[in-house]
């Protein structure tokens, strides 16, 4: 996807793990390696994520993604206090918008996807119909979305392409 194609997108929708990476990186990039959910990430990945995000003006999330992020971070507390405390300011600072999709109807409407990927990912699929690019580290979900004409990018591909250049 070219920069011009990215510019035509409504914005960027971050999947749960990448939003957790953003939050922990904002809190303290040195904490990324030690976080149980981010063991495959480094502080360099955080800066790579920020660089990719700089290509967009609008960022989106869903209540489902925020719930997952909250659940993954709720026990985390470091030197400066609970990590959850920075989430509202971070979201506001980046200008995140929250996309709402009622859960019960979407589970029926996209039953096949719901059974395969779960509620949060199904709601994200619906948000992609609003011309957002979905950035995820879930390769299986990414391929599924791309094969069904929805805009998705796998963060691991971005990581690989920066290693090659």
CATH number at residue 68: 3.40.50
**Greater pLDDT, 165 or 159:** 159
User: Region 32-48: what's the mean pLDDT?
Assistant: 90
pTM of the model: 0.89
114 is a domain residue: no
User: Region 13-31: what's the mean pLDDT?
Assistant: 93
115 is a domain residue: no
CB 20 within 8 A of CB 155: no
Q: Which residues have a Cβ under 8 Å from the Cβ of 141 and sit 6 or more positions away? A: 15, 117, 121, 152
69 is a domain residue: yes
Which residue range is the domain that position 7 belongs to?
3-98+131-164
143 is a domain residue: yes
What is the chain's mean pLDDT, rounded? 87
62 is a domain residue: yes
112 is a domain residue: no
Q: What is the bridge-based pairing of β-strands 11-14 and 59-61?
A: parallel
User: Region 136-140: what's the mean pLDDT?
Assistant: 91
Phi, psi of 159 (to 5 degrees): -60, -45
160 is a domain residue: yes
81 — pLDDT class (breaks 50, 70, 90): low
Instruction: Look at residue 20 in the predicted model and tell me its pLDDT.
Output: 95
34 is a domain residue: yes
Instruction: Look at residue 8 in the predicted model and tell me its pLDDT.
Output: 82
Domain count, the chain: 1
CB 165 within 8 A of CB 154: no
164 — pLDDT class (breaks 50, 70, 90): very low
């Amino acid at each position: 996807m070219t920069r011009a194609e990215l510019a035509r997108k409504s914005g960027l929708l971050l999947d749960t793990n990448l939003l957790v990476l953003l939050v922990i990186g904002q809190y303290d990039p040195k904490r990324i390696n030690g976080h149980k959910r981010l063991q495959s990430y480094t502080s360099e990945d955080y800066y790579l994520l920020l660089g990719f995000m700089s290509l967009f003006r609008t960022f989106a999330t869903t209540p489902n993604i925020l719930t997952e992020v909250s659940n993954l971070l709720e026990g985390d507390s470091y030197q400066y206090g609970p990590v959850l405390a920075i989430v509202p300011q971070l979201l506001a600072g980046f200008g995140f918008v929250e996309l709402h999709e009622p859960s019960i109807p979407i589970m029926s409407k996209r039953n096949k996807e719901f059974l395969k990927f779960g509620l949060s990912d199904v709601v994200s699929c619906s948000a992609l119909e609003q011309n957002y690019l979905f950035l995820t580290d879930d390769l299986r979900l990414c391929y599924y979305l791309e094969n069904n004409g929805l805009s998705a990018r796998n963060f691991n591909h971005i990581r690989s392409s920066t290693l090659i250049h």
